[in-house]
Structure formats: structure tokens, C-alpha cells
Amino acid sequence: MVFSCIPFLFFFLPLCLILYYAVPFSWKNGILLIFSLIFYAWGEPIYILLMLFSTALDYTNGRLMERFGTTRPRRTVFLCCSVCINLSVLAFFKYADFAVATANAVLGTQFAQPGIHLPVGISFYTFQTMSYIIDLYRGEVKAERSYAAYLTYVSMFPQLVAGPIVRFSDIQEQLHDRRLTFDWFAQGLLRFMMGLFKKVLIANQAGALWEEIRVLGAANTSVATAWLGALCFTLQLYFDFSAYSDMAIGMGRMLGFSYNENFRYPLTAVSVTDFWRRWHISLSTWFRDYVYIPLGGNRKGVTRHLFNIAVVWFLTGMWHGASWNFILWGVYYGILLMLEKYLWGRALAKLPRPIQHAYAFLIVVFGFVIFAITDFGELGSYIGMLFSFGAGRLADTRFLWYLGNYGAVIAAACILSCPVYPWICQRASGLSRKKSCALSACAGVGVVLLFVLATAYMVSDTYNPFLYFRF
């Protein structure tokens, strides 16, 4: 998506909010829909037709299911129609090139790749439309009678291109009746600003160091530098993606919508299982509710349970991208979750808490190396750097130079990846009124200073989109 944060922050969002609050409530969805479509068309003018097709398909099938789906077989027809077409569209745009390249590699053929451009956010809004029709089939929601309201739900610009994956059941009532208060607006604005600071001041800086270390090559990299690079990518991805979620939740709240949390300090997890309860929660729960549980979950014996885990994590890897490294990443986590469940999970839970944290953190950091590098040759070389302890290159002057220049950012990132902010809020709630006002004033000054600093970075930096835009 050819989209810059600067015009969005300083033109698009303020203009939307001004008009949104100026019109009567009955017009607010219309204003939101118009700005959402403009937002998507700004970067993907042709693929807005694809999103309109997807929403029209599920809306129509939903109305037909409500009217004619008096029996389960009839409802199943409408469900299969929507799900099959949605998945076919997603597979074509996301995996056509990957399928041709794989076939050429396996069969020795030379078929030309279609060269299809991936529509931004297609994985997110496809899962949203599918959740609607599946929940409708299950009887968990009522069919939406207004296509404009349904299109507003799918195209809502705060979460359109990179989540969180918002289910229709979570905001169906809010589409027609929601609260708009000063407190909610202020909370949303603060949450949006927190996301902005995380993206610009931490994620982008950690990402710059990761890119610098990645291109060094084995001959110029020590073990310590390689692990520093892996840590930086982990911090970049976490602060980048959680920043977008913060900004989406904040913008949603400013508009009167309440989105569920998508991250819960995942880098403080004590196991792989715990990590996936905290990381990209909307995706994890989507696969749990629409794939894992329908397959039988853990209710049909050990063999079937292992099979269900394998299916879910193969699909999770595939969802993240049309590349074998993403599939390997999904398999990596699937195997670890199986091992935790049936081999060492109970023993792990008895270990001291710091050891549990270290175990989970190292697994996550190593896993994100697999996630980051799509080329298997480069991936093998980088993994080799991580474990070349016997080569006599544990650390070097370059590593010390990186620590000197980026140490403050890395330290701040590590601290903020822990629940420090909730702890401060909890302690502040017990202060006297006078101290609370003084703390609020200091916090306000800090937010202003951080905003000025973030703006300076945005103006001087090259374009650096959110990592999850590509999914």
C-alpha cells in the first residue's frame, strides 16, 4: 500500500473526526464508510473492487441463509458458497505465484509466474467476512440487514489493513448504537499516541539495526552480533505490530468502537503455549474457534489432537505468507506445542519463573529468525551464525559499537515489553489528588515531547510501513 503515516496523521484522521462528530448519529456510519473506502482506495484503488465483491458475497449469502436456511443442509449450502469463494480468492491472490514457483522447483518446469500483486489486508478482511458467515450459520449472530453497515464493519479504516481481526459478533450492536464520550475520545487518543511512539521511536530503530546486521554475512558477524540482530527483529516485529493494534484500538475508541486487545505482553510469556495466548490474540482465537475446535480439539484422543495441532499450525504459517519459511515457522511452533503438551509441559511449570521466561524468550527469538528470512540459503547461514560458538567469534568490536549506539533503544524496548505501564497506572491510582494531578501534568508534558520527537523522526526518516501490511 502506497501509504504514508504523515498525511494520515495530519490530514486524513483529523478531517474524518471533525466531520464524524459534526454530523447527526444517523450519518456517522456513512461518514466512516466514505473515509474508510477513500483510505483503502488511496493505496489500492483497483483492489477496492475485490473488497466490495467479498463483502457483497457474504452479505448476500447471509440474507439468503436467514430467509431460506430453515434446515441445516440449506444453511450449509450458503456457508460453503461463501467460505469456498472467499478462500479461493485469497488463495489466488496470495499463493498463485508461490504455487507456480513450487511446481517449477519440484517438476523442473519453467512456467511463468502470474506476478499477481497482493492486495493489502486481504488476509485480515477475508477472515472477518468468514467469521460473520460462520457465526451466522451457527446461530451466534443475526444477519445484518443493512449492507452499508456491514461494509462499514469490514472496511473500517482503523483495523482494515493489519488487524486486529474484529468479529462481527463483537461490534454488531456498536454499528447501530455506540457511546461517544469525551473520556472515551481522550482514552483513544492516548492509546493512539502510544502506538505512534512505539512504531516510530522503537520499532523503526530496532528494525534499522536488524537490517544492518542481516546484510553483514557470516564472515563479518560474531555470535553475539547475530543474536543481537535476532533480538532486534523480535523487538521490531512486536513493537511494530502491537503499535498498529494500539493505534487501531485507539482510533476505534475515538469513533465509539471497542476492539478487543490483540497483545498482552507476549515477550513475558513463560511457555510457548502462554506466548500464543498473548501474541496476535485475534488470529489465535480465530483459528481456535473456526478450525481447531471444529476439528475436535483435544476431545478425540492423542493422535487426533496431534493431528489437529499440526493442521492449525500449518495453516497459521501459510496465513502469514506465501513462502516456505512461514510454513516452517508454523511447523516449528506446532511441534513445540505438541512437546509442551505431552512431554515437558508439567516439568516446565515446576521450574523457577526466571528459567521459564528465559526458555520461552529464546524459543520466540529464534523462531522469529525463521519468520524474518524467506531465502533458505540465507536462513541457514544466519542460523549457523547463531550457534557458531566453537569458531572463536563469540563477540567483536562491532557488537560493542552496536550496543553503544542502540543500547538505549534496546533497553527501553525490553523494559516496555514488560507490563510497566499497567504497574505505573496501578500505583498512580493510590496517590492523593494533589500528587495525581502533578503526575498527570508531567505525563502530559511527556506525551507532547514524545510527539514532537516522533514527528521529527517521521519527517526525517524514509518511508517505513508497518510489517503486517504485507499480510
Backbone angles phi, psi at 214, to 5 degrees: -60, -35
The catalytic position among 117, 176, 320, 357 is 320
For residues 421 and 263, the answer to whether their CB atoms sit within 8 Å is no
For residues 364 and 275, the answer to whether their CB atoms sit within 8 Å is yes
Cis bond before residue 164 (omega within 30° of 0): yes
Sequence-ordered list of residues with C-beta below 8 angstroms from that of 60, at least 6 positions apart, any chain:
none
Other CB atoms within 10 Å distance of the CB of residue 223: 20
For residues 413 and 365, the answer to whether their CB atoms sit within 8 Å is no
Backbone angles phi, psi at 181, to 5 degrees: -130, 160
Other CB atoms within 10 Å distance of the CB of residue 177: 8
Spatial separation of the C-alpha atoms in residues 185 and 164, rounded to whole Å? 19
CA distances from 118 to 2, 37, 75, 129, 275 (A): 13, 18, 31, 18, 29
Q: Which amino acid is at 365?
A: V
What three-state secondary structure class fits 373? Answer: coil
What three-state secondary structure class fits 170? Answer: helix
Helix extents (H) in 293-396: 293-295, 302-320, 324-339, 345-349, 353-372, 376-386
Spatial separation of the C-alpha atoms in residues 2 and 163, rounded to whole Å? 18
CA distances from 409 to 236, 264, 358, 402, 404 (A): 11, 21, 21, 11, 10
Spatial separation of the C-alpha atoms in residues 290 and 293, rounded to whole Å? 7
Spatial separation of the C-alpha atoms in residues 7 and 11, rounded to whole Å? 5
Cis bond before residue 354 (omega within 30° of 0): no
Spatial separation of the C-alpha atoms in residues 157 and 394, rounded to whole Å? 47
Spatial separation of the C-alpha atoms in residues 42 and 437, rounded to whole Å? 42
Q: Is 320 a catalytic residue?
A: yes
Backbone angles phi, psi at 222, to 5 degrees: -95, 170
C-alpha grid cell, residue 126: 477475508
* Type and span of the H or E element at 49: helix 48-68
Spatial separation of the C-alpha atoms in residues 158 and 444, rounded to whole Å? 24
Active site residues: 320
